[in-house]
Amino acid sequence: MCSRFMSYLEKRFACLGKNGDEDCSSDERSDNNDDNCESSQSHGDSYQEDSFKSYSEEESSGEDVVESTGRRGSRNSNYEVNRSTTIGSTNTIAKPEASKSADGQSKRTPTKGNNWKDVKLRVADLGWVNRSCVNDQAVKGRIQDLLSSRLIHADHQAEWLARSIQCIDLTTLAGDDCPSNVARLCSKAANPLSDNLADALHIKCGKLTTGAVCVYPARVADACIGIERLGANIPVASVATGFPTGQTSLKIRLEEIEFAVQSGAKEIDIVINRELALAQKWGELYNELVMMRQACGESHMKSILAVGELCNLTNVYKASLVAMMAGSDFIKTSTGKETVNATLPIGLVMCRAIRAYNRKTGFKVGFKPAGGIRTSKDVLQWMTLMKEELGDDYLTPELFRIGASALLNDIERNLASHADGGYFLAEEMPMA
């Protein structure tokens, strides 16, 4: 193996978890359009005008991805929203404190639940939701720009791929899931790279894990046992609320959340009610999500928008805002079961909603693309999107997850070819 490459990897992997501005091929982070792409008229009376200085209308350009329609300050008169409800979780999943182990490598400490009852309130601003409108052409243009000029340089891809592993929600959501395949999933999550490859890359495998394992509610207990047996520090995530369609009563959806939490899930991936979104009943959707947030208790809530069923990008943006206003810790694109799942244009729209929400409220909500993400190339594109749209701060497991059932093997093959220079068949990789 090339010694220059090995020393490069050694240096790079020692820095895993740190931010490196130099790693995008672009010279500087693009802020083109940045300040102007969300509604400049969206100052609902929930927030202080002072918070939006960087969002003055004078700064708007004709290249907005999201535009504001209607009158400043207009409010949704169709729906009463309980704006005083205590609904919030803290703005981010608790950031793991990086500590140094004996070998000097970064070590993740357990992700603790938030004391969601005591934190700053989030409130509904349906006027903002109703006025927002996405410019499809601007979205298309921005994605073309990202794909043509802002890809991660080949020399840095190995580091980024390794870094992506800690952001994967390693998932199995199949009808035939059982204790044994969940145990295997946990083992893979705790040891995402084979020992040989880790040695070749000079990574201490014990220190690198996926962000979470994600299973159905009935398999949460199995996953908790599997993780505990391995002595690993990996949260168990559970889908809930009638995943993937959500087509059951609200009572049953809420009970399912409670069941998953009681079974040990620290993260709950709920699905939103698509009927309410398509009917523009944003207030009703908000109220449902608030109840789900409450049912999650101290577990984190990731809200799956099922974007492939939301009809258009404007609905994706509006649903993103409502989900964040209702206290979601993450917004997630898809269940993986829709015809259209995670796509970059949809991801861009959701990232812009996250950015706008952060600028208005100070809350940092995470992003989880999921569904059909299978290749290293896909991951590098999603990481580029995150870096360009939200910045390095968001490229951590606390704010970025990739939901995937069949991605890790491709990353492993890619890293192996970086280390060895050879090409590996999928079946040559351990635990494929």
Ligand X SMILES: O=C[C@H](O)COP(=O)(O)O
The DSSP letter of residue 112 is P
Q: Applying CB under 6 A, does 143 fall inside the site for ligand X?
A: no
Cα–Cα distance between 357 and 395 in angstroms, integer? 18
Stretch of residues binding ligand X (CB under 6 A), selected from 22-30, 204-212, 315-323, 364-372: 364-372
Q: Applying CB under 6 A, does 371 fall inside the site for ligand X?
A: yes
88: which residues sit within 8 A by CB, 6+ positions away? 116, 119, 120, 121, 122, 293, 327
CB of 335 to ligand X, least distance (A): 5
Q: Applying CB under 6 A, does 432 fall inside the site for ligand X?
A: no
What's at 387, amino acid-wise? K
Asked whether the beta carbons of 204 and 228 are under 8 A apart, the reply is no
Q: Applying CB under 6 A, does 306 fall inside the site for ligand X?
A: no
According to CB under 6 A, which one of 340, 406, 431, 432 is a site residue for ligand X? 406
Catalytic residue status for 53: no
Instruction: State which of positions 75-114 bind ligand X (CB under 6 A).
Output: none
Q: Applying CB under 6 A, does 171 fall inside the site for ligand X?
A: yes
CB of 97 to ligand X, least distance (A): 27
- Which residue among the candidates 64, 169, 269, 410 is catalytic per the annotation? 269
Cα–Cα distance between 165 and 210 in angstroms, integer? 5
CA angle, 328 as apex, 236 and 171 as ends, to 5°? 30
CB of 333 to ligand X, least distance (A): 9
Cα–Cα distance between 394 and 108 in angstroms, integer? 17
Report how far apart the first and last C-alpha atoms of the chain are (Å, whole number).
24
CB of 183 to ligand X, least distance (A): 19
Query: CB neighbours (10 Å) of residue 285?
Result: 27
**Which residue's CB is nearer to ligand X, number 253 or number 332?**
332
Cα 426 vs. chain centroid, distance in angstroms?
27
What's at 284, amino acid-wise? E
**Which residue's CB is nearer to ligand X, number 406 or number 432?**
406
Catalytic residue status for 269: yes
What's at 61, amino acid-wise? S
Catalytic residue status for 332: yes
Phi-psi label, residue 367: left if phi above 0, alpha if psi -120 to 50, beta otherwise: beta
Q: Applying CB under 6 A, does 372 fall inside the site for ligand X?
A: yes
- Which residue among the candidates 368, 378, 387, 410 is catalytic per the annotation? 368
CB of 401 to ligand X, least distance (A): 9
**Which residue's CB is nearer to ligand X, number 127 or number 336?**
336
In the bound state, the residue with its beta carbon closest to ligand X is 336
Cα–Cα distance between 307 and 312 in angstroms, integer? 8
**Which residue's CB is nearer to ligand X, number 159 or number 169?**
169
Radius of gyration of the chain (CA): 21
Q: Is the dihedral of CA 345, 418, 403, 24 positive or negative?
A: negative
Q: Applying CB under 6 A, does 404 fall inside the site for ligand X?
A: yes
Cα–Cα distance between 56 and 331 in angstroms, integer? 27
Stretch of residues binding ligand X (CB under 6 A), selected from 79-87, 177-185, 353-361, 403-411: 403-411
**Which residue's CB is nearer to ligand X, number 55 or number 243?**
243
- Which residue among the candidates 332, 360, 364, 387 is catalytic per the annotation? 332
Instruction: State which of positions 111-140 bind ligand X (CB under 6 A).
Output: none
Stretch of residues binding ligand X (CB under 6 A), selected from 160-168, 195-203, 308-316, 365-373: 365-373
According to CB under 6 A, which one of 227, 370, 399, 429 is a site residue for ligand X? 370
Q: Applying CB under 6 A, does 250 fall inside the site for ligand X?
A: no
List phi, psi (to 5°) of 68. Answer: -105, 135
List phi, psi (to 5°) of 98. Answer: -80, 120
The DSSP letter of residue 110 is P
Stretch of residues binding ligand X (CB under 6 A), selected from 50-58, 201-209, 397-405, 408-416: 397-405
Q: Which residue has the tokens 């052409």?
A: 137
Q: Applying CB under 6 A, does 211 fall inside the site for ligand X?
A: no
> What are the residue numbers of the active site?
269, 332, 368
Give the binding site for ligand X (CB under 6 A). Answer: 171, 173, 214, 335-336, 370-373, 403-406
